[in-house]
Amino acid sequence: MELYDELKVAGVAMDHHESDLYCEDTHLSRSILVGHPMERNDSSPFINQAPPWVGMTWLDIPFAFAPYWRACRAGGNR
């Protein structure tokens, strides 16, 4: 299962910008990341400035927003 799908099933708060995935930095999200070493190594924390998560720590995971890549493979709009 892809990282995005695991986070979604676990109910982790997520957002994205194009192909980059953002998720709330929690024990749960980090435990899921353990199973995805490539994404884990590329992730970086940031302080979210978007309501309703202003001031909370989130993780920026480049190129991990699976729906973006699925749409690309299908030839559809991202």
- Per-residue burial over 36-49, b if 16 or more Cβ lie within 10 Å, else e, is beebeeebeeeebe
Q: What is the DSSP string of 14-67?
A: EEEETTEEEEE--HHHHHHHTT-HHHHHH-EEEE--STTSTT-EEEEETT--HH
Number of structural domains (the chain) is 1
Q: Which residues are bridge partners to 15 per DSSP?
A: 22
pLDDT tens, residue by residue, 29-71? 999 999 998 898 899 999 999 999 999 999 999 999 999 999 9
Q: How confident is the model at residue 7 (pLDDT cuts 50, 70, 90)?
A: very high
Q: Print the domain residue range for 15.
A: 3-74
